[in-house]
Amino acid sequence: MIERNLRLERIGYIASPLIVIMIWKIVTYLRIFDPVILPSPESVGQAFLSEMVSGELLKHIQISLYRVFLGFGIGSAMAVSLGLLIGWSEKAKSFVNPEWNVSKCAFETDLMGDN
């Protein structure tokens, strides 16, 4: 029984993307959306290969990763600096604490939902 479930799960892992691509192909064939908005899988594949061969795709991936890591680094440095400042300085803690508590209450209220 367990082996059968694992087999069905593996088939699902393979079938799911294929079903999505088939639906995508049918929708683009029927021209439900303008090809500028939803291009066909073939045109996306051709564009992917041409960008890959020309080296443009790798260049854009590098730029995007640089931006992601730069933003993460800047955000982390600011968060750690603010955390250390709040931990060391009673004035900084008293300055930030009211806003912190308001945002904490808003978050908890949001988690409670509409009962």
Whether 72 and 34 map to the same domain: the answer is: no
User: In terms of domains, do 50 and 74 share one?
Assistant: no
87-to-78, 79, 115 alpha-carbon distances in Å: 14, 12, 37
Report the alpha-carbon distance of residue 33 to residue 10 in Å, rounded: 32
Mean pLDDT over each residue of the chain, to the nearest integer = 86
pLDDT at 25 over 60: yes
Q: What percent of the chain has pLDDT over 70?
A: 83
Range of the domain at 30: 1-54
Tokens of residue 8, six digits: 């069905």
**Residues 103 and 75 reside in one and the same domain:** yes
Q: Are residues 66 and 42 in the same domain?
A: no
Please indicate whether residue 11 or residue 78 has the higher confidence score (pLDDT). 78
Count structural domains, the chain. Answer: 2
User: pLDDT tens, 10-21?
Assistant: 888 888 999 999
- Domain boundary among the residues 16, 37, 54 is at 54
Q: Are residues 78 and 112 in the same domain?
A: yes
The mean pLDDT value for 62-91 works out to 94
pTM, entire model: 0.57
